[in-house]
């Protein structure tokens, strides 16, 4: 598998797009999260309308907002126009109950047609009891320590394992879920420990390194970064001090082979 970073910023698309990652397998490509700036980057790669699935870790704005223009590009026929013919609706996996609630609220708040999202995507719900098979890749999930239902996918193609920690504070569940991962993608939002971790549910670079070390992961990629280059480099340094494997900072276009 190849893991490709489209966007890595937290909160706002400053200095790059928000959360959006492609997992390329032999049988297709999965998009993980769809934050602001993701659609344009998927479009440039000619993959909009051709993905095997979109999987949303959770329904915070920096992980979902591009679904709004994406649905417009589907219902307006723009994706089919580019493809030169009909395209099947892309399966869109959202956290059970909370995902549809947020999409329904967006429909009301933005005055969209009631079937905007269900008409544009093949909408499906999941949670941590589910095991998904998508394009030859098996996905299982662990709930993370975050204020809204958030699930970290573990993706296995039979040869390698990639775990995307999504958003969440350090937790034993994430460590267990990420055991022996070939690539662990974890957030490094803060430089110093979050004083209200229960409230915000995020990690530092040092904590990300500790999770990778405890999980026995082979490689660590830090993401969900603020637009503060100096702090991100310091987070990278602290993660490397806590984890003996390879550690990188996410950047647009970075591809890691697992």
Contact set with Zn ion (CB under 5 A): 60, 62, 167
d(CA 227, CA 237) in angstroms, rounded, equals 17
Is 248:223 a contact under the CB 8 Å cutoff? no
Q: How far is the CB of 169 from Zn ion (least distance, A)?
A: 11
Which of 18, 74 has the CB closer to Zn ion? 18
Residue of 92, 55, 85, 52 lying closest to 71 (CA atoms): 92
Which of 65, 134 has the CB closer to Zn ion? 65
Q: How far is the CB of 33 from Zn ion (least distance, A)?
A: 8
Which of 59, 215 has the CB closer to Zn ion? 59
Q: How far is the CB of 10 from Zn ion (least distance, A)?
A: 5
Q: How far is the CB of 7 from Zn ion (least distance, A)?
A: 11
Which of 167, 206 has the CB closer to Zn ion? 167
Distances (CA, A) of 231 to 40, 116, 183: 28, 40, 23
Q: How far is the CB of 244 from Zn ion (least distance, A)?
A: 28
Q: How far is the CB of 234 from Zn ion (least distance, A)?
A: 20
Specify whether the backbone of 230 is left (phi greater than 0), alpha (psi in -120 to 50) or beta: alpha
Distances (CA, A) of 47 to 43, 59, 80, 120: 6, 22, 12, 16
Residue of 248, 244, 190 lying closest to 220 (CA atoms): 248
Which of 62, 248 has the CB closer to Zn ion? 62
Check the CA dihedral 66-70-72-75 and report its sign: negative
Which of 62, 206 has the CB closer to Zn ion? 62
Which of 24, 60 has the CB closer to Zn ion? 60
Q: How far is the CB of 127 from Zn ion (least distance, A)?
A: 16
Cα angle, residue 23 at apex, residues 44 and 174 outer, rounded to 5°: 135
d(CA 258, CA 252) in angstroms, rounded, equals 18
Rounded to a whole number, what is the distance in angstroms from the first to the last CA of the chain?
Answer: 5
């Amino acid at each position: 598998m190849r893991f490709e970073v489209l966007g890595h910023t937290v909160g706002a698309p400053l200095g790059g797009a928000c959360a959006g990652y492609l997992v390329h397998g032999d049988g297709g490509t999965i998009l993980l999260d769809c934050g602001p700036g993701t659609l344009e980057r998927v479009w440039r790669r000619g993959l909009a309308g051709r993905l095997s699935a979109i999987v949303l870790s959770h329904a915070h704005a920096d992980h979902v907002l591009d679904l709004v223009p994406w649905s417009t590009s589907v219902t307006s026929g723009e994706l089919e126009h580019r493809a030169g013919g009909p395209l099947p609706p892309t399966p869109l996996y959202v956290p059970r109950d909370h995902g549809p609630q947020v999409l329904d609220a967006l429909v009301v708040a933005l005055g969209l047609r009631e079937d905007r999202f269900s008409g544009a995507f093949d909408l499906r719900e999941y949670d941590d009891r589910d095991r998904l098979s998508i394009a030859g890749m098996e996905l299982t999930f662990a709930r993370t320590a975050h204020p809204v239902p958030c699930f970290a996918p573990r993706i296995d193609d039979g040869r390698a394992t990639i775990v995307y920690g999504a958003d969440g504070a350090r937790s034993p569940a994430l460590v267990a879920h990420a055991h022996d991962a070939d690539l662990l993608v974890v957030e490094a939002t803060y430089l110093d420990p979050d004083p209200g971790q229960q409230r915000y549910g995020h990690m530092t670079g040092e904590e990300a390194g500790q999770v990778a070390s405890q999980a026995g992961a082979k490689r660590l990629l830090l993401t969900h970064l603020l637009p503060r280059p100096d702090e991100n480099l310091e987070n990278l340094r602290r993660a490397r001090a806590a984890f003996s494997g390879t550690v990188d900072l996410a950047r647009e276009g970075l591809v890691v082979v697992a």
